[in-house]
Amino acid sequence: MSFKPSSFSSSSFFFLLFLFFFFASHVSSQACQKTCGQIPIKYPLGTGSGCGDPRFTRYIKCDPDQQTLTLTTHTGCYPITSVDYAKQVIYVTDPSMSTCACTRPSRGFGLDWDAPFSFHDDTVFTLLDCSVDESPVFTPLSNGTGRVSLCDRQSSSICTFLYSNCRAISLINLQVSTCCVYVPLDLGPSFEMDLRKLRCSSYSGFYNLGPGQEPHPENWNYGIALKYKFNVFDEYPVVCGGCERSNGACGYNTQTSSFVCNCPGGINTTSDCFFLYNSASILLPWFSREWVMYPLSWVVIWTVMSLPQRS
């Protein structure tokens, strides 16, 4: 019995080994992540500097340790519970917001004036425990005979249901007259809800009550719905679509803010990531493109090919 060296030379083996590490690194890692916890990340959102749209990076971040997506404004840091990319709506929660589960004192909620967000029409704010004598939402009449409410009178039933059917709030025994439905339009151009100035102790925010759920505040969707736009014309960038279809993440050059496509392995291009797979097909035409996504399979093949052949 004898062995003879394989025709598969050591130089060929190291060449293929180089290709393995090259493509493995490109497939296994990516600077801009596609998810943050359970939330998918798509343009214009990003997971850090250089990812997504630069206008959003200042306000939305992903905590790499906790894997939580958060919105930061001048009034605080708020967890993002979900994102509806089709409707371009971001849903956030405020830990200091009062709900049927718990009532808390709060400072309020505000958006930065230059933030690329606005309150969605479905968002409703209800000011709780407001001072009837001091709150500016109850404006005194010029003749001094009483006060007129600046609240949304057509939605006064919401106050009734909160104060009577919401256990955490009903236990405080507040008068319904101290409640005020305050729609986002009333916040003014600064999008500021300062409860100290409004002389209210807390607030509740919700959206999408659902059909037949108005009398059941325990089933309301508590939180704040924020609308965003891609740009002035609200058009999704065509180049970004091609990037995401090629398994890339839309990002930007941190120096020039110009578009880049972040590909697996952290490589940035100005178009898309299809070149990675096209290059693999040229270098290794006997492999299908799917093999590029499973580089560990190559190790077995290369190992067998590099072994001495028995004769």
Q: pLDDT, tens digit, for every residue of 38-53? A: 999 999 999 988 999 9
Q: In a 3-state reduction of DSSP, which class is residue 6?
A: coil
Q: Which residues of 284-302 are buried (b: 16+ CB within 10 A; e: fewer)?
A: beeeeeebbeebeebeeeb
Q: Are 249 and 32 in contact (CB under 8 A)?
A: yes
Residue 81, pLDDT score: 96
pLDDT per residue over 161-216, tens digit each? Answer: 999 999 899 888 889 989 999 766 555 545 678 899 889 999 999 987 777 788 89
Q: In a 3-state reduction of DSSP, which class is residue 222?
A: strand
pLDDT per residue over 270-294, tens digit each? Answer: 999 987 766 544 443 333 333 343 3
Burial class (CB in 10 A: 0-12, 13-18, 19+), 145: exposed
Please choose, from the candidates 181, 60, 56, the residue with its C-alpha nearest in 3D space to the C-alpha of residue 123. 181
Residue 278, pLDDT score: 61
Residue 87, pLDDT score: 95
What percent of the chain has pLDDT above 90?
A: 37
**What are the sequence ranges of the domains in the chain?**
3-30+263-310, 89-228
3-state helix, strand, coil in the chain (%, to 5): 30, 25, 45
Average pLDDT score over residue span 69-81:
94
Its pTM stands at 0.76
Residue 69, pLDDT score: 96
